[in-house]
Structure 1
Amino acid sequence: MLDNAPLEKARHIQAQRRLRDEILGAELFGDPGWDLMLDLYIAQASGKRVSVTSAAIGSGKPMSTGLRWVKLLIEHGLIIREADPHDGRRSYLHLTDSALDALEEFLARC
């Protein structure tokens, strides 16, 4: 049986961040890199693929900011961009093994 605890913790953290933004305003707080990584973790753990566009939107910031963060996370070896073999206009993102391990360690310790 799969341990869903890390996935549920990630979903809870994501929901708390959205609630904070709703109540206090997203313009005062933000961590697009963390939001992107949480979103990718939840998607991967749920067996879903995330396009670059969806990930940038999921950062909770303007598209240009989200795309800058995608690029930065790729440069730091935390996420990988892979072309869609069926549609050359689309690419998908996923966490690297080391980023996945780090997030799972974080979730296990929180």
Structure 2
Amino acid sequence: MMVLWEQPVIVGHSISNADGVIQAIDEPVATLLQRHRDQLVGISYISITHPDDLALNLAKVGALKTNGQSTRIRKRYIGGKGDVIKMEVQVSRLAGCDGGLLIGTLSTIDDDQDLDYGPRRLWRRAREFLDIMHARDEILGAELFADHAWTILLLTYVAEAEGRIASTEMVSDHLSLSRATIERWLRVLQSKTLIEPVRAGIDALQLTQTGIDKVERLLDQRLAIPVA
């Protein structure tokens, strides 16, 4: 069962450049963040994001396609008075000069809604699945199991969440499978629009937005997902 959230209340909007440096922000948002607009314009959203939420925040923004689907991020900011402020941001990447713009619609989150159900929880659960699967393979033998597609998705998701780059070589080492076998699985995942096509000469794996959404939907299930 998916976690269901109350409808958030929109506070305002922000515009940042492709690197996340704020170019404009609505006064109500600045007030909620315990700052004036002129204190926010010219700084990166990274500098006011809670450090525990930063890795997944960067991964989701990094996965955005220009003029493509937006992404929803539930996160914490560090207010100007040092308070932790929970918000939801709907972010889109639009075409423009110097790499384009990031457009954010910021909404409040009810304090009764624990942010641990958000990005940090999903990242932690993905790591737990990988740890369980590794222990399972060590104790029972990897030859008994063949959940390679799920493992590839988890490895790529965790790498993106932690600001690392997943690669075919890394996945091959983790699964103790040949590169050719991993590449066959990647083609299958690409056909399902879960993994972006790998660019020639660049060994870097990235989930599509559909891939991120579906992996997070599975990670957010309250019932345990079988790993055997």
TM-score, structure 2 normalization: 0.43
Read off the aligned partner of 1:17 and give its amino acid letter.
M
Show structure 1 runs of 4+ deviating over 6 A: none
CA RMSD after TM alignment: 1.7
1:61-100 paired onto structure 2 within 5 Å: 61-83=177-199, 89-100=201-212
Asked whether 1:30 is paired with 2:142, we answer: no
Most deviating of 88-97 and 33-42: 88-97
Which runs of 5 or more residues in structure 2 are unaligned? 1-49, 54-118, 223-228
With a CA cutoff of 8 Å and minimum separation of 6, indicate the structure with the bigger relative contact order. 1
Query: Contact 2:194–2:211 at 8 Å: present in 1 too?
Result: yes
Taking only the aligned residue pairs, the percentage that are identical comes to 30
Read off the aligned partner of 2:179 and give its amino acid letter.
M
Please give the alpha-carbon distance, in whole angstroms, between the structure 2 residues aligned to 1:30 and 1:65: 12
TM-score, structure 1 normalization: 0.84
1:28-67 paired onto structure 2 within 5 Å: 28-67=144-183
C-alpha displacement of 1:64: 2.4
Q: Relative to total residues, which structure has the larger helix share, 1 or 2?
A: 1
Please give the alpha-carbon distance, in whole angstroms, between the structure 2 residues aligned to 1:82 and 1:72: 13
Read off the aligned partner of 2:221 and give its amino acid letter.
R
Q: SS of 2:196's equivalent?
A: strand
C-alpha displacement of 1:56: 3.4
Read off the aligned partner of 2:220 and give its amino acid letter.
A
Q: SS of 1:90's equivalent?
A: coil
Query: Contact 1:40–1:50 at 8 Å: present in 2 too?
Result: yes
Read off the aligned partner of 1:22 and give its amino acid letter.
E
Most deviating of 65-74 and 32-41: 65-74
C-alpha displacement of 1:72: 1.0
C-alpha displacement of 1:53: 2.6
The higher radius of gyration belongs to 2
How many pairs does the alignment contain?
106
C-alpha displacement of 1:102: 1.1
C-alpha displacement of 1:62: 3.0
Read off the aligned partner of 1:93 and give its amino acid letter.
L
C-alpha displacement of 1:63: 2.6
Please give the alpha-carbon distance, in whole angstroms, between the structure 1 residues aligned to 2:205 and 2:211: 13
Query: Contact 2:166–2:204 at 8 Å: present in 1 too?
Result: yes
Please give the alpha-carbon distance, in whole angstroms, between the structure 2 residues aligned to 1:89 and 1:63: 15
